[in-house]
Structure 1
Amino acid sequence: MSDWDEDSNNDVPQSGQIGSLGYATLLPMWLLTIWLASIDATHPWRELTAALLSSYGALMLTFTAGAHWGFAPSVRAAAGATALVIIGWMAPLLPSNAAFVLLALALAAQGTWDAFAVHEGDLPKWYGRMRTRITFLSVMAMLVAFVATN
């Protein structure tokens, strides 16, 4: 039984604080999403807001992909993480609506990968629970942004 098999609230020091910080990363994403959805298509800050949001979504994707390097370093994890980083790097260069769809798909793929990694014991259960929630909320933000830009 590895350390990752434990399923208590104390399996990581201060895991509640870590979770709170994880959820705090959603604040800029959702503030930008709500702002984008609430402003008119002719608003002078609309393009900048969409660019900031797609860049932030890419940042979230690359950060979570990078976690696989730290938790479960392997050639497979490195290759998958690298592919997601490249997607994150390219997404903000696309038109906004395409960037939001690509990021939603990539964030969902990353979250699915995390879930499988938890199931296989490569990632701790507390991380899987947190990532499931953050993934859902991140993907929803990207989909709302997509609707707002169409």
Structure 2
Amino acid sequence: MSDQRVSARIPASALSLGLMGLVPFAAGALSLWVPLPFLNAETGLKLVVVYGAIILSFLGGIRWGTAIGPYDAHRQGREFSTSVLGALAGLAAVFLPAIPGLTLLIAGFLMQGLWDVTSADAGRLPAWFGRLRMILTAGAVVSLVAALGALLLT
């Protein structure tokens, strides 16, 4: 099998762990629409916002790690600086009221996902990472939009 096909295949562990990582988003959002025996709406909303902030920070950490790569000082500084924006947005989202906090998380995930996908397309990250980030960003954003919709419609 060619190196290109191997690098394009999402590693099974990354895909399965990533998909399992969507469960807190989905459960939290679902709790805002229907009563769940294990998660009330108030806790579900906190779960979605805090977990979203944690995951944005995690994604920034991935990009901080990639910035260590063979870049010139200017490029490296830009990569390091950009990689912390998700963590800062997540922190702000935790302290904002729910509607602007969710909106900020949605924007943060979309921007992080776009950065990751375009970086993979440009060859700065493995091709599989761009595809994985597209899948996981869609799952996170759908859940965040569902949570936001529940708040806006109540």
Shift of 1:122: 1.1
Shift of 1:61: 1.0
Structure 1 runs of 4+ with >4 Å offset: none
Preserved CA contact (<8 Å) 1:55 1:92: yes
TM-score scaled by structure 2? 0.83
Shift of 1:24: 1.0
Preserved CA contact (<8 Å) 1:58 1:88: yes
Q: CA RMSD in A?
A: 2.0
d(CA) in 2 for partners of 1:103, 1:51: 13
The aligned runs of 1:1-150 (5 Å cut-off) are 6-8=3-5, 10-11=6-7, 15-39=11-35, 45-73=40-68, 74-150=76-152
The number of aligned residues is 140
User: What amino acid maps onto 1:65 in structure 2?
Assistant: G
Preserved CA contact (<8 Å) 2:110 2:141: yes
Deviations 1:23-74 (A, max 9, x none): 11101111111112224xxxx9433321121001111111112111122332
User: What amino acid maps onto 1:11 in structure 2?
Assistant: S
d(CA) in 1 for partners of 2:130, 2:4: 11
Shift of 1:12: 9.0
Unpaired runs of 5+ in structure 1? 1-5
Preserved CA contact (<8 Å) 1:7 1:126: no
SS at 1:121 equivalent: coil
SS at 2:80 equivalent: helix
